[in-house]
Structure 1
Amino acid sequence: MRGMVAEIIAVGSEMLTPYRVDTNSLALTSELNKLGVAVAFKTILGDDLGQLTEAARIALGRADIVLFSGGLGPTEDDLTREAVAAVLGVSMQRDTSIVDGLRDRFRKRGIELRDNNMKQADVIDGAEVLPNANGTAPGQWIDTEFEGKRRILVLLPGPPKELTALYTDQVERRLRGVVPQVHIATASLRMAVVPESEVDARTAPIYQEYSDVQTTILSTQGEIQLHFLASKGTEAEAEARVAEVQGRCAAEMEPFVFSAENETPEQVVLWLLGERGQTLAVAESCTGGLLAQRITAVPGSSKSFLGGAVVYSNALKTAFADVPPAMLEEHGAVSEPVARALAEGIRARCGADLGVGITGIAGPDGGTETKPVGLVYLGIADGAETRVLRLNLGGDRERIRWFASQHALMELRKRLL
């Protein structure tokens, strides 16, 4: 069942620099999805009238609803109104009631109203003014026809506080009046320590059976995500549809799935520790405390995470985790026996139920023919058994350290389950 689709156009040259990020489109997408409107396109544009006009023309040709954020201010480069008017082939009129409101607002604040502020009172012919209680630039709502199709255009101010309030107060109820009763449901799966190509090869035959479910595969550092979206006439139908494909894909990828509820691996590990009333301690060499940092970033982690040590030098491996000097001399710091000793030693020292030991070569230097950069040994001890995993990780120093911590969390999850 196809509902309306929307396009969001974020206007502002500052968002094309490394210093500003478009967050308005995220908030608008969330709100539109609640109405059953799927956001099919997002565009970020600088303050150029020609480019804005062309982007608006393209958007009106492919989206039922087009929302603009930004470009409604008083300066010469605020050009959203002009671009929309040009695309629609209409004029703008200066609304005297808006001008009076601006004068009153500026007078109360003891600020001079300059001529350039007046352009915020320019209203596109056929538009309905959306009063902005939190700023000087009102929004505009246009319900029109473009190339024989009904189109809704919404012009919103750029400041997030103004945009959010104006959408809630003015736009949402208007959209409810034009959007058909379509419900969108979403679901996701998060997997780790598995290649994206393997995930797609194994799950594509499943999700391709569901032509009414939109499936997206995303790859992030050490993690693969599957996102599912369905539009149906009722919320129950939509929820059931995404749950079905999610469940089948989860069963296929079970060993690698750590969450179907959007938790991080560290949140899952801490939850499992809490459920079992168990505690954890870590001894980290090549990861330099990254594993502990990820765990302690979760609120409430102190209930299950006791702490540990960064044992970069051989001396500290002995001092803090009781690794025998003779073992270090015989096998080297990066070895299976040392990873095992680190896990067992830190567990005993801290009085924890589980101990993790990580040692490896993160690079870019320090590798040899027998022990190359990326070689990592990961040990997990629970008092009854100690298992050591040998990893050969690729990439730069940051990637190797992150993947080592990711493998540690996934192995902890496996052990706890």
Structure 2
Amino acid sequence: MHIEIVTIGDELLLGFTIDTNAAHLAREFAALGVRIVRRTTCGDDADSIAGAVRDALGRTGAVITTGGLGPTADDQTKPAIGALFGRGMVLDGDILANLEQRWLKRFGHPLPTSNRQQAMVPDGATILENRHGSAPGIWLEDAQGRWVAMLPGVPREMRGMVADTLLPRLRERIAPGGPVVRARTLRTANIAESALADRLGELAGGVNGLSLAYLPGRDGVDLRLTSYSLPSMETERALNAAAVLVREKVGRFVYGEGDDDLAALMLAECGARGATIAVAESCTGGMLGMRLTAVPGSSRVVLGGTIAYANEVKIRELQVAAEDIAAHGAVSEPVARAMATGVRRRFGSSIGIGLTGLAGPGGGTPDKPVGTVWVAVDVDGDVHAVRAVLPGDRGEIRWRAAQLALDRLRRAFAQDTEGAAWTARGA
């Protein structure tokens, strides 16, 4: 089954609201073997809604809309789509009674006149119950089997209705044992998209008939394998085999799968080893500590940290040598290494991480452009350091620097000193 999604709202077109509804729908339907083949966003006016839905019906005959079911004048979804099916609008007495009871119970006063619009539905429509809000959903279908499911735009209501009502309805229309749409994501860090493609070689365009997408983000580049046409059991075997092949090619750069968070993975590894962590941060200003302490149970591993933004704080709190700062600058290998060792000793942890860099937008030089970062990891006195020049704006550089530090810890645990310019070990 192929479906198109039409999300409705001027606020989506203007960028004031992020369209999370379409992404949620695509994820939910993929497991059913339903493929979302196109996503369209249009404004609140009736002509735009009718045009977008008419085109989608012509292509697939199956459309889901979100938005435009509320009580105000800009909520035009029902009459616009009803007109496409040749249906006039009628008052649904059951919906009206439910709305009146809801208002009296929740607000203690009669239903506002404007909200009566929510009880107007296209003639002959099937009502989709909304247990999560006031606007019911609508299902319209014609004699040719073409259908439109209209859902509210409020994400909480839309998601609840998808689970309660829409997914069960669609399951009834799908033959058991048919193809499903499934994906497997491998997460990588500290390697560019083009470098991944080079490593993958003949697998770069797809693996054993499965598509391979490159999804760069601030955590790194995700590699997503997707199967569109195999039955469920075959899909899992195919994805497992393809993931093994990709891991063999990409090797040390893969740190996890799915929604794995590198901070959570490192905390779990520290817990298994009985290790503790302290962090010393300059350019990230506490972001690395935030990443770590955002994970439940992190107090068993994270002892504390120091935001050593000023040079005098690096010297006073972390025993960074003033002569090293004078000779090499605050963004340098000696300073990063001293920060890692200094914070480990200060807090009595088994691991210390030092991070210093230039997040911009100003302050860069030819030798140290904006984005230059030094990270050092001290594990029981065994110190490694790495330099990187990270892309992006100030926020992206800071986030990527914290991710780089976590990845350096992962490499230290794996005793991997070959990748990405690790410097010589120090005492």
- Which TM class, normalised by the smaller chain length? 0.7 to 0.9
Which residue in 2 is equivalent to 1:278? 275
Task: Please report how far the alpha carbon of residue 233 of structure 1 lies from its aligned counterpart in structure 2 after TM superposition.
Answer: 5.5
C-alpha distance 259-124 of structure 1, shift in aligned 2 (>3 A): same
Pair 1:237 & 2:234 matched: yes
Q: Please, which of 59, 62, 85 is the counterpart of residue 62 of structure 1? A: 59
In the TM superposition, what whole-angstrom CA distance separates every residue of 1:44-95 from its partner, at most 9, and x where no partner exists?
A: 2221111101110121123353112222233322211222123234444444
Instruction: Indicate the SS of the match to 2:353.
Output: strand
Instruction: Indicate the SS of the match to 2:356.
Output: strand
Task: Please report how far the alpha carbon of residue 346 of structure 1 lies from its aligned counterpart in structure 2 after TM superposition.
Answer: 1.8
Pair 1:12 & 2:2 matched: no
**Gaps in structure 2 of 5+ consecutive residues:** 415-427
**Residue identity in the other structure for 1:177:** E
In the TM superposition, what whole-angstrom CA distance separates every residue of 1:25-48 from its partner, at most 9, and x where no partner exists?
A: 344334323322122222222211
Which residue in 1 is equivalent to 2:202? 205
Which residue in 1 is equivalent to 2:170? 175
Q: Please, which of 303, 306, 313 is the counterpart of residue 306 of structure 1? A: 303
Moved more, 379-388 or 53-62: 379-388
In the TM superposition, what whole-angstrom CA distance separates every residue of 1:261-309 from its partner, at most 9, and x where no partner exists?
A: 4212212221221121112222222322222222222222221222221
Mapped partners of 2:204, 2:279: distance in 1? 39
**Residue identity in the other structure for 2:142:** T
Which residue in 2 is equivalent to 1:159? 154
C-alpha distance 397-136 of structure 1, shift in aligned 2 (>3 A): closer
Which residue in 1 is equivalent to 2:118? 120
8 Å Cα contact 2:7/2:40 also seen in 1:
yes
Mapped partners of 1:271, 1:129: distance in 2? 48
Pair 1:340 & 2:340 matched: no
Pair 1:190 & 2:181 matched: no
Which residue in 2 is equivalent to 1:141? 139
Instruction: Indicate the SS of the match to 1:28.
Output: helix
8 Å Cα contact 2:324/2:334 also seen in 1:
yes
Mapped partners of 1:393, 1:256: distance in 2? 17
Q: Please, which of 7, 16, 21 is the counterpart of residue 18 of structure 2? A: 21
Mapped partners of 1:129, 1:99: distance in 2? 13
**Gaps in structure 1 of 5+ consecutive residues:** none
Mapped partners of 1:110, 1:292: distance in 2? 48
Moved more, 7-16 or 297-306: 7-16
Q: TM-score, normalised by structure 1?
A: 0.87
State, as a whole percentage, how many aligned pairs show the same letter. 38
Mapped partners of 2:153, 2:389: distance in 1? 47
**Residue identity in the other structure for 1:315:** E
Q: Please, which of 356, 374, 378 is the counterpart of residue 375 of structure 2? A: 378
Q: How many residues align?
A: 411
Pair 1:247 & 2:244 matched: yes
Q: TM-score, normalised by structure 2?
A: 0.85
Moved more, 96-105 or 356-365: 96-105
C-alpha distance 98-345 of structure 1, shift in aligned 2 (>3 A): closer
